[in-house]
Amino acid sequence: MATVKPNVTFLGAGSGFTAGVLRDVMLIPDLAGGELRLVDIDRKRLEITTRLIKKLAEHMKAKHGVDWKVTGTPDRRKVLPGTDYVINCIEVSGTACVRHDNDIPLKYGIDQCIGDTIGPGGIFKALRTVPAWLDILADIERLCPEALVLNYTNPMSIMTLAAVRSTRAQVVGLCHSVQGTSKKMARVANVPFEEMRWRCGGINHLAWLTELSHNGRDLYPKIFKRAREDREVYESDPVRFDMMFHFGAFITESSGHLSEYLPYYRKRADLLKKYARDGYRGGSSFYADNWPQWRKDCDRRRDELAKDLTKMDLNRGHEYASDIIEAHALNRPKVIYGSVLNAGLIPNLPADGVVEVATLVNKAGFNPCRFGELPPQMAAVCASHMRVYDLVVRGLKNRDRESIYHAMQLDPLSAAVCAPAELRAMTDEMALAEKDFIPAWMTKGLGKVSRRGSGKVTVGIGLKKTKDKGPFAAG
């Protein structure tokens, strides 16, 4: 065991995940160290992160006697050969498109909270990110084809779907919403998390905790009662608890994310007032207003930690990356929740789509576990998203702008607010605003976007009305 020394390449080392994930890797028991290869095209952020990870490696050697070599480079092709594990956390375009992703849809009445997984913001993040991701996967197939690939970058389901349709490499999409939500439910039910039994399945950010029990007793009656009677419990996640009341189970993502995944909560001002709260509970423009400052704060924090490591939590966290590496490198089987090709794991969801289910990891790699059918109302919510993801990936792989229009027109929130012609005009406006970061075929032949129907629409939140100009007004 003491001779196992994996090589881990971290793409997008400027990510806020980097230090925590690599700390966890360095804390895996019985590894003899290894090499951590940091890659980022932003040289300033790469330098800060490399200093911090080197400081962490020094601490691990002094305290645990393990030797981790740390390398930083802007060129992934230099470090991919010999890599055993690739962790992907890239962010294409930085903060350049944050306001476009939020503000252009808002003109059409589409109010987003986070906007990086589905909806206008998520679809355009895919247009920016998937091409770079496919290039990375091609390099992995050529330079380290046996590596396990761990993706943390959103839009998670679209990224994973693009991967499973494009590469022979073993790829899994990773999030922390299942870990966080299952622990939250244990707190609401007031039972020890380690004693709670649960099942979870669906798609990333829309997985359902279909079973929760303790000592053989169903916990949902108690959770329903607490959410209805305890205002503090309900207010912690209004949209998630409302969906639980009406659909029958709790969902794995925050009320803010969830509210923009559905056609119910953000299409009218009165509904926003009733169900949305601040921050991750549904605040309007929450990411757009805060993301640029968060990035600056993250860089500043990393610089501080590199100078004084005692300010960092040096305990192993709950991200799945280190569990996967431990299970695979040391053949210590572990169960994680990951986004993987469905292929019948949830039979009443599209077989060629990506689902989030329990996945056994061992020396062989990823072994997804069959979940079985979701209750039909839950499957229907997931399926509506999977059709959008499918169209986005088809559009990107086939360079087909029509598929992107169709994806936008089928997005649940966008479709609840706008007519198809308005969504087509909005897509064109976003494409022109972000043309430097998305494929050229998205803007070919567009010229200047028509203003017809693009700034004032007859639906949405507090927007002025225009006269109806007929079915071809925005086309």
Please indicate, yes or no, if residue 36 is contained in any of the structural domains.
Answer: yes
Please indicate, yes or no, if residue 211 is contained in any of the structural domains.
Answer: yes
Q: Which amino acid is at 303?
A: D
- Out of 285, 312, 347, pick the residue that ends a domain: 285
Please indicate, yes or no, if residue 113 is contained in any of the structural domains.
Answer: no
Please indicate, yes or no, if residue 38 is contained in any of the structural domains.
Answer: yes
Q: What is the mean pLDDT of the chain?
A: 93
How far apart (Å, rounded) are the C-alpha atoms in residues 119 and 157? 13
Residues 214 and 270 placed together within one structural domain of the fold: yes
- Out of 285, 309, 342, pick the residue that ends a domain: 285
Residues 48 and 171 placed together within one structural domain of the fold: yes
Count of domains forming the chain: 2
Residues 52 and 88 placed together within one structural domain of the fold: yes
Residues 127 and 34 placed together within one structural domain of the fold: yes
pLDDT value at residue 448: 61
pLDDT value at residue 455: 39
Please indicate, yes or no, if residue 311 is contained in any of the structural domains.
Answer: yes
SS3 at position 3: coil
Please indicate, yes or no, if residue 407 is contained in any of the structural domains.
Answer: no
Specify which residues 335 forms β-bridges with: 360
Q: CA-CA-CA-CA torsion for 393, 397, 403, 409, nearest 10 degrees?
A: 20
Specify which residues 206 forms β-bridges with: 203
Q: 239 lies in which domain range?
A: 186-285
The pair of three-digit structure tokens given for residue 177, joined into one six-digit string = 């919403």
Please indicate, yes or no, if residue 74 is contained in any of the structural domains.
Answer: yes
Residues 44 and 128 placed together within one structural domain of the fold: yes
Residues 308 and 276 placed together within one structural domain of the fold: no
pLDDT value at residue 2: 54
Q: Which amino acid is at 32?
A: A
Residues 18 and 133 placed together within one structural domain of the fold: yes
- Residue 224 CA, chain-centre distance (Å), reads 28
Element holding 429 (H helix, E strand): helix 420-433
Question: Angle 241-242-243 (CA atoms, 0-180°, nearest 5)?
Answer: 90
What are the catalytic residues?
Answer: 176
- Tens of pLDDT along 458-470? 333 433 333 333 3
Please indicate, yes or no, if residue 399 is contained in any of the structural domains.
Answer: no
The pair of three-digit structure tokens given for residue 119, joined into one six-digit string = 């909806």
Residues 165 and 195 placed together within one structural domain of the fold: no
Q: Which residues contact 207 (CB under 8 A, 6 or more apart)?
A: 177, 178, 200, 201, 251, 252, 337, 356
Buried b (16+ CB within 10 A) or exposed e, 250-261: bbbbbbbbbbbb
Distances (CA, A) of 53 to 24, 71, 450: 12, 9, 49
- Out of 304, 329, 354, pick the residue that ends a domain: 329
How far apart (Å, rounded) are the C-alpha atoms in residues 161 and 380? 19
- Over its length of 475 residues, how does the chain's per-residue pLDDT go in tens digits? 458 999 999 999 999 999 999 999 999 999 999 999 999 999 999 999 999 999 999 999 999 999 999 999 999 999 999 999 999 999 999 999 999 999 999 999 999 999 999 999 999 999 999 999 999 999 999 999 999 999 999 999 999 999 999 999 999 999 999 999 999 999 999 999 999 999 999 999 999 999 999 999 999 999 999 999 999 999 999 999 999 999 999 999 999 999 999 999 999 999 999 999 999 999 999 999 999 999 999 999 999 999 999 999 999 999 999 999 999 999 999 999 999 999 999 999 999 999 999 999 999 999 999 999 999 999 999 999 999 999 999 999 999 999 999 999 999 999 999 999 999 999 999 999 999 999 999 999 997 644 433 333 333 343 333 333 333 233 2
Q: CA-CA-CA-CA torsion for 464, 468, 472, 475, nearest 10 degrees?
A: 0
Residues 37 and 123 placed together within one structural domain of the fold: yes
> Which CATH number do you get for residue 85?
3.40.50.720
How far apart (Å, rounded) are the C-alpha atoms in residues 248 and 375? 9
The 3-class SS string of 286-313 reads HHHHHHHHHHHHHHHHHHHHHHCHHHCC
Residues 129 and 211 placed together within one structural domain of the fold: no
CB 188 within 8 A of CB 220: no
Residues 212 and 158 placed together within one structural domain of the fold: no
Residues 26 and 129 placed together within one structural domain of the fold: yes
Among residues of the chain, what percentage have pLDDT more than 90?
Answer: 93
Where do we find the tokens 């990951």? 338
